[in-house]
């Protein structure tokens, strides 16, 4: 299984929360799950954690797209 959750570290409260890789991309805005601060995820952010989150999300999306949907369905049918 591919984990499609990406860890995001809030620059204000430094707490880590996660969001789906399909949603996390350059310019994505999300509220911190802990302090509700609105975060904007920019590729050129000075925060290395935000840059890493965007990179991880991109790699996760590529991994998910590498597995055709039909193949996944075939596998689940066979295992039942």
Give yes or no for residue 41 binding Zn ion (CB under 5 A).
no
**Residue selected from 2, 3, 13, 74 as contacting Zn ion according to rule CB under 5 A:** 13
Q: Which is nearer to Zn ion, 14 or 22 (CB)?
A: 14
d(CA 23, CA 52): 15
Cβ 5 to Zn ion shortest distance, Å = 17
Give yes or no for residue 22 binding Zn ion (CB under 5 A).
no
Backbone angles phi, psi at 58, to 5 degrees: -65, -45
Tokens of 37: 């601060």
Give yes or no for residue 12 binding Zn ion (CB under 5 A).
yes
């Amino acid at each position: 299984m591919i984990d499609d959750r990406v860890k995001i570290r809030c620059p204000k409260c430094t707490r880590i929360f996660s969001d789906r890789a399909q949603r996390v991309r350059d310019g994505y805005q999300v509220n911190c799950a802990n302090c509700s601060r609105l975060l904007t995820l920019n590729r050129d952010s000075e925060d290395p954690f935000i840059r890493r989150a965007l990179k991880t999300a991109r790699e996760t999306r590529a991994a998910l797209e590498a597995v055709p949907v039909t193949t996944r369905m075939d596998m689940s049918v066979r295992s039942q």
